[in-house]
Amino acid sequence: MNSINNESSNETIARLGISSPERIDRFMIRVALPYHLRNLAQVGKEVELHVESPVCVATVLDALETAHPVLRGTIREHESHKRRAFLRFFAAGEDISLEPPDQALPASIVDGKEPLMVVGAIAGG
């Protein structure tokens, strides 16, 4: 990821002393949602999800949409799975909205130290 110098999920597995990714294939990931999506899904500020490796935006959103089907199509398009225009993704203080959705998330997200943030963008002039 751009300037984020954090370890990937595979590096986290190695740091934890696990010999192979097969031994840990699910991670508890925190996701912070904007008010309108929290209201729609009837959840609090953060949602905790079990996400299978590799932990990336795509797998986190898959888990989120599976756990809360009402959110399907609200964060990304139904068919193309492209991010909706007025939503941004932040990880470790960096905007990762334009990064590939299959790029590994930083260790701080994978370890559950901080949430992946879905933020509603504001347009206007």
- Give the model confidence (pLDDT) of 19-61 as tens digits: 554 555 789 999 999 999 999 999 999 999 999 999 999 999 9
Note the pLDDT tens digit of each residue in 58-83: 999 999 999 999 999 999 999 999 99
Residue 15 pLDDT = 59
- Can you tell me the distance from the alpha carbon of 101 to that of 106, in angstroms, rounded to the nearest whole number? 13
pLDDT of residue 1: 42
Fold of domain 9-120: Ubiquitin-like (UB roll) (3.10.20)
61, amino acid identity: L
State the pLDDT at residue 81.
93
Name the residue ranges covered by the structural domains of the chain: 9-120
Q: How is 43-80 classified by DSSP, letter by letter?
A: --SEEEEEEESS-BHHHHHHHHHHH-GGGTTTSB-TTT
What is the pLDDT, as a whole number, of residue 11? 64
SS3 state at 11: helix
Q: What is the pLDDT of residues 79-101, one digit of tens each?
A: 999 999 899 999 999 999 999 99
Chain centre to alpha carbon of residue 122: 20
**Calpha distance 40→5 (Å, rounded):** 34
